[in-house]
Structures are given as C-alpha cells and as structure tokens.
Chains A and B, each alone.
Chain A
Amino acid sequence: MDGIEVTLISGRTARQGMGLEEGKLSERYTQSVNTVYLNPEDASNLGLARGGLIKVSTVSGCVTVNWGGDAGLDRGMAFFPYGPWANQLYASTTDGTGMPQFKGITATVSAAEDSRVPTIQEIVESIRGGKRL
C-alpha cells in the first residue's frame, strides 16, 4: 500500500517530559518525540517493518520518523508527541484565536524507504532556511 490517510493527534507524554528535563539534545528526549504511533492494523496494511521508518505528510510539511504500534488508537488515527519533529507538520494559521490546530488534522503516512530520521541539528538548520528536510 502506498500510504493511508490518518487523523493526526499530537500530545504530551511522560517520556517526553522526562527527556526534556535531561535536555533537548539528549538521546532520551529525541527518542521520545521522533516516533509516530499508529493502529497496529494500519501499520500492518502499510507493510511497515519493525524498526522501519515512516513518512508523515500534511499540506504544511512532511517528516520522516520512527513508528510504533498503539492498539488504543482507532484505525485511521495517529499520535505524534509534541516536539520539533511533529511541528514540521502543522500550519501556523490560528483562525483568529492565536492557537494553531495541533490536534485532528489530516495527514498521510507511508513507509519511508531509503530515508532517515532528521537530527535535531538538521531540523534547526532547515528552520534557519538551510537544507529542507
């Protein structure tokens, strides 16, 4: 399967909280926020290999990340912990509220072959106008 459309939900996790207190450059923080969680059946239909990578795309951007299974997610839903990797996907429009929509946006996920997860340094470089992710 080429890819599936999902409703993307972002949010906090305890691992993310513990990791950021070590530091944003720590391995613990990075691993806590560069993974998207999918319903296991969706992952199976996408042919995702354990330890493989996925590409997540929205109208605002795309990013390659790790994936994990979460049976608590309905099919067609994905969860992405808050962080620099997730924020490659959200639009900065706020509809006059000040708040971007971080939960419930449409995204496409697909297996990412011949790719790798960008480092936090690469994300910062792309934010500065350098090489796009």
Chain B
Amino acid sequence: MRYEDVICPFCGCLCDDLEVTVEGGHISEVKNACGISRSKFMNHGANRLMHPTVDGEKVSLERAVEEAVELLSKAERPLVYGLSSTECGAIAKAVEIAETAGGIIDNTSSVCHGPTILALQQVGESKASLGEIRNRADLVVFWGSNPTEAHIRHITRYSGMPRGMYVPEGRKGRKIIAVDVRETGSTKLADQFVKVRPGSDFELLQALRAIVRGRELPVEEVGGVPMQRIKELADQMKSARFGIVFFGLGLTQSEGRHMNIDAAVGLVAELNRHTKFVLTPMRGHYNVSGANTVTTWQTGYPYAVDFSRGYPRYNPGEFTSVDLLSRGEVDAALIVASDPASNFPVDAAANLAKVPVVTLEQKTTPTTMLSRVTIPVATAGVEAEGTAYRMDGVPLRLKKLVEPPEGVRPDEEVLDMILKGLKEAKR
C-alpha cells in the first residue's frame, strides 16, 4: 500500500508531500523525507514501551489509568505539561483534565517560543502563510535560526529554493541573509552572513530599526556589526519587494528573550513603511502551534494557564512549568508527548522527580524512567490520525498509516479515560 501526500509529524514545517509505502503492516519506504523525518517513520516501532506500568510493574491499561486518576485527583497543584508532539484532539482533552483537576496546563512553548508569544501579545505581528512566502518572498532573513539542522526542508520547500508565482527564478530570485552568533549550515547556504556578538541581538535589531527610520547613530558598530554593514542591510531590506524574517530560539532563549522579539516586530513594522515585510517564528515541535491554538480556544490563553481558582488565569513566569517546578510548587504531574526530565534545567527536573508523575509516551525517556505511571501511546501521524498546526498557523490533517502495537491507544483515547475517571472522582 502506497500513501501519497503524507504529512510529517516532526517539525513545524509539517511537510505534506511524503510518500510512504506500507508492506505487511510495516513502513518499508519513505520518499521526500528529510533525515529526521525518515528516522521518525522508519524507527517508530523501535524501542517502544509495550505495557503500562505503575512503579515499574507491568499493569493493565485500566489499572494505570486508575492510578493516574488517583494521583491527579488527590493533588493540590497538579501540572499537565507537554502536548506539542501530539495532535489537537489529545491537547483538548489535556486542557480539560487540567481544568477538572484544578491544576495548571502548560506546553513546551514555555521553553521555546513562549517569549515570542509574550512579545506578539504586546505588539502584534505582521504575518503570512508559508505558501504566500514561497510565491512572493524575494528577501529571506533567518535570524537566530538554523533550518539546515532543525527544519531541514524549509529552505527547499518554502523559503529559499522554490520557484514561486512572483519569484519564477527560484533560488536566484531570492536573497537569503542569515544572522547568527556562529557559522552554521544555514549561514553557509545564505548569500550573506551577519555575525552578531552573543547577547547583542536586541541592540542590532534596534539599530537596524533606527537606520530604516532614517536616523543616524553615532557609533562605529553595534553587536560586533560595523555601522556601514548595518546601513547596507537596512537598504537591502527596504528595497525588497516582499521580505520575511524567520526567527528562532537564538532570539527567544538568549539574553533579552521576549524583548528581542519585540525589537524584531518593531523592525518589521518600520520596514512596512517602505515595502511588504512579515515575520514568522520557526516553531520546533510539529504541533506546538496547535498546542497554543487549542489551549487558546478553550481557556483564552496559549500556555501557562492556572485553573486553581476555578477559572483560567494566565501568567508566564509564574504558571510556566520551569518556574513552578523550580519553586517546588507542583505535587503531581501528567506529562504528554514530552520529556521535561531531559529538556528542563537540572533543578527543575530534580523537583519533577520528587513528585508522582504520569507519562504518556511511545519510548523510554528520562521522564518515563522517573515516572510513577507510564502509559504507552500511539504515534500521531503514523499510527493515529489527528490535526496539527503548521508553524504559520495552517491546520493539516495527519494520516494513520499503520496500526499501533497491540493494546496501545492514541493519546486522545487514554486522556479521555483519565478525564472520565477524574470527573467521577471529583463528583
């Protein structure tokens, strides 16, 4: 059986042109995939968790759910976290679980593009779909982003190489500028590499903004970039027909965090006095955008939402997972499609290890290794269908290609079982 137009559930590109061959219930071939995507499809069955466990002992799914319900219903400050690598139906159930438990719902954007959301809520954004960028953009800026490693087909599918309706020459019709603190595959591929001193992105963005506005700055360089070079950049940006800034964690995880994004939005707003310019965050996990979207539908807020007072309250810095854990505030956790024990700073991970954790996961991770309850689940986009949101906010339907291991269910079904048990326990 050969499936066409398969969507890759790895990164925020959600490439939708994969061809997957299934033979005897197993994936035998993947075409059009990048190396990471190929690894995901070909290894989805490798090293799987096969049975639910409680305290390391193999149990039935029903027993594991019962234990999860017990832990969450007795907790005073339960945290529901992860969600960016699963589909929207599961995310909706997770939000409802957090509400029912009177806990906190947070997703991995709090440690990736959370600062982006903070900034965009303050100053707005000028955005476009990847299709529009593919067809129109003649100047592409990657700022603090390395797509050759993290979004491998982005440049070939959407931003750099394709022949677009108004960019018929393809790569030759587009200028690519990479701004980074170090040389990467993306800076080598770009037409121009602007090396900025670490921790100086905010200053460089503000200097560019001032120059675009026509101001003179009485300095010789900003962030290690000579003023003459900054003026050239400003001229190139102003003279583009359609410009785009794709920015990554180089801005959100470095000194300044959300203020870096604020400055980037300010630069793009200033450029729109001269030409059409947009910006788009390079979202990492394939459905982190969906996690923000679904959580916003249901609570009004995209992440870091607390239900302890019976209604949703939003406060990144207080209700974000790393902050909650580092303060030792959480007394139970439900982790879905994420590995915070690997991805959080050691202090926060250590406090997670002190509380009972329920984890829904496909494979063994440091988080499953320290969990009281582990429940294996199907891989969305391979073993289960569902909806995911691309980095530009376009929803796409993931396909089910093969059956999950026997007895293993999708995240949404397991979360629904926990939710029903929790409602019963709270009654």
Known: A23-B46, A23-B364. A100 touches B252 (CB 8 A): no
Is B366 a contact partner of A17 (Cβ separation < 8 A)? no
Interface residue total, chain A, C-beta cutoff 8 A: 53
Contacts of B43 in A (CB 8 A): 21-23
Is A14 a contact partner of B149 (Cβ separation < 8 A)? yes
Tell me the complex Cα distance, A22–B346, Å: 24
Tell me the complex Cα distance, A9–B183, Å: 12
Tell me the complex Cα distance, A120–B322, Å: 21
Is B346 a contact partner of A60 (Cβ separation < 8 A)? yes
Is B152 a contact partner of A14 (Cβ separation < 8 A)? yes
Instruction: Give the Cβ gap from B137 to chain A, nearest Cβ, in Å.
Output: 23
Is A60 a contact partner of B347 (Cβ separation < 8 A)? yes
Known: A97-B316, A98-B323. A13 touches B254 (CB 8 A): no
Q: Is B115 an interface residue (CB 8 A)?
A: yes
Tell me the complex Cα distance, A23–B257, Å: 31
Contact with B along A92-113 (1 / 0, CB 8 A): 1111111111111000000000
Contacts of B11 in A (CB 8 A): 17
Q: A84's contact among B47, B195, B255, B366, by CB below 8 Å, is which?
A: B366
Contacts of B152 in A (CB 8 A): 14
Residue of B with least CB distance to A81: B149
List CB contacts (< 8 Å) of B174-195 with chain A: 181-184, 187, 195
Q: Is A46 an interface residue (CB 8 A)?
A: no
Q: A77's contact among B118, B198, B252, B344, by CB below 8 Å, is which?
A: B198
Tell me the complex Cα distance, A20–B253, Å: 21
Contacts of B325 in A (CB 8 A): 92
Is B249 a contact partner of A17 (Cβ separation < 8 A)? no
Known: A7-B198, A22-B43, A98-B304. A77 touches B181 (CB 8 A): yes
Contacts of B10 in A (CB 8 A): 17, 21
Is A97 a contact partner of B114 (Cβ separation < 8 A)? yes
Contacts of B316 in A (CB 8 A): 96-98
Tell me the complex Cα distance, A111–B131, Å: 49
Q: Is A25 an interface residue (CB 8 A)?
A: yes
Known: A92-B325, A127-B366. A99 touches B36 (CB 8 A): no
List CB contacts (< 8 Å) of A50-94 with chain B: 60-61, 70-74, 77, 79, 82-84, 87-94
Q: A93's contact among B321, B326, B365, by CB below 8 Å, is which?
A: B326
Q: B111's contact among A88, A99, A124, by CB below 8 Å, is which?
A: A99
Is B326 a contact partner of A72 (Cβ separation < 8 A)? no
List CB contacts (< 8 Å) of B39-96 with chain A: 39-40, 43-44, 46-47
Tell me the complex Cα distance, A83–B349, Å: 12
Is B198 a contact partner of A87 (Cβ separation < 8 A)? no
Q: Is A26 an interface residue (CB 8 A)?
A: yes
Q: Is A131 an interface residue (CB 8 A)?
A: no
Is A24 a contact partner of B322 (Cβ separation < 8 A)? no
Contacts of A60 in B (CB 8 A): 345-347
Q: Is B250 an interface residue (CB 8 A)?
A: yes
Tell me the complex Cα distance, A13–B10, Å: 14
Q: Is B284 an interface residue (CB 8 A)?
A: yes
Contacts of A9 in B (CB 8 A): 181-182, 198
Q: Is B370 an interface residue (CB 8 A)?
A: yes
List CB contacts (< 8 Å) of B253-280 with chain A: 253-255, 257-258
Is B146 a contact partner of A11 (Cβ separation < 8 A)? yes
Residue of A with least CB distance to B38: A18
Contacts of B46 in A (CB 8 A): 22-23, 26
Is A123 a contact partner of B366 (Cβ separation < 8 A)? yes
Looking at B321, B322, B346, the one whose CB has the most chain A CB atoms below 10 A away is: B346
Known: A12-B284, A96-B317, A98-B317. A77 touches B182 (CB 8 A): yes
Is A99 a contact partner of B350 (Cβ separation < 8 A)? no
Tell me the complex Cα distance, A61–B350, Å: 13
Q: B345's contact among A18, A90, A104, by CB below 8 Å, is which?
A: A90
Which 7 residue pairs across A and B have the least CB separation, nearest first? A98-B320, A72-B183, A23-B47, A96-B317, A17-B36, A92-B326, A21-B39
Of the A-B pairs whose beta carbons lie under 8 Å apart in the complex, a sample of 15, sorted by A's number, is A17-B36, A72-B182, A72-B187, A94-B317, A96-B316, A97-B317, A98-B321, A98-B322, A99-B110, A100-B348, A101-B255, A103-B198, A103-B249, A127-B366, A129-B354
